[in-house]
């Protein structure tokens, strides 16, 4: 992964990332019938995590395994709190460290030679 100060790195706004993630879901799971969802203009880590789970058809156990690969074990209850609506009393914000370690675990699982 490139660091933020790498001259080759480029910023990606939320809408562009939402378009990519929605396309990733369609690529992996197929297009849904009816009108397609408009890309979000504002994303948060909870939405990004959920879209990746949907695209890769990851169950809770799969995500927990991936987090373990990155040496960041979390509980099933903590994971479910990330998927709740923001007004739910057990909702929890997915912090950058959680998402970063999820991506690191995915890299270990799906690209072990990197």
Q: Of 77, 44, 47, 43, whose CA–CA distance to 60 is shortest?
A: 77
Q: Is the pLDDT reported for residue 2 higher than 60?
A: no
Six-digit token pair at 52? 């990746």
Tens digit of each residue's pLDDT (9 = 90 or more) over 38-97: 899 999 999 999 999 999 999 999 999 999 999 999 999 999 999 999 999 999 999 999
Greater confidence (3 vs 30) lies with: 30
Q: Of 16, 80, 3, 74, whose CA–CA distance to 43 is shortest?
A: 16
Tens digit of each residue's pLDDT (9 = 90 or more) over 78-89: 999 999 999 999
Helix axes 96-110, 45-56, angle to 10 degrees: 20
Structural domain boundaries in the chain? 14-110
């Amino acid at each position: 992964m490139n660091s933020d100060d790498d001259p080759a790195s480029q910023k990606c706004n939320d809408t562009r990332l939402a378009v990519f993630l929605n396309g990733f879901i369609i690529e992996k799971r197929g297009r849904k019938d009816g009108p397609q969802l408009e890309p979000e203009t504002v994303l948060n880590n909870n939405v990004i995590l959920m879209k990746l789970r949907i695209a890769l058809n990851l169950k809770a156990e799969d995500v927990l395994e991936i987090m373990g690969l990155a040496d960041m074990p979390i509980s099933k209850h903590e994971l479910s709190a990330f998927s709740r609506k923001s007004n739910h009393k057990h909702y929890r914000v997915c912090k950058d460290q959680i998402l970063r370690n999820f991506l690191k675990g995915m890299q270990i699982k799906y690209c072990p030679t990197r």
